[in-house]
Amino acid sequence: MDAVLQKFQHLKIQLEDIKEATNDFNDKKNRIGRGGFGNVYKGELSHYMGRSMVAIKRLNLDSRNLQGTPEFLKEIMTLTRG
């Protein structure tokens, strides 16, 4: 799993930036969806080219949902293929 995570280091965003963009994962103001492995939130992030609207998926690490982590990583890999 470390090799998979290493592949995506360039996409890393600081948690504090994500929390600020999503109003600390505010369900009432920023949640735009819900999936089997977590909620999706809207936000706006600053980056070297300006600002962008983003969708942030927050993985639910509920002990009843242990399949979530590998499925979450598969989704990231699918979305970031170039």
Tokens linked to 57? 């998926």
3-state secondary structure (DSSP) of residue 51:
strand
Q: Which residues pair with 56 in a beta bridge?
A: 41
19 is annotated as contributing to ligand binding: no
Helix (H, G, I), strand (E, B) or coil at 65: coil
Which residues are part of a known binding site? 57
Binding residues for ATP: 57
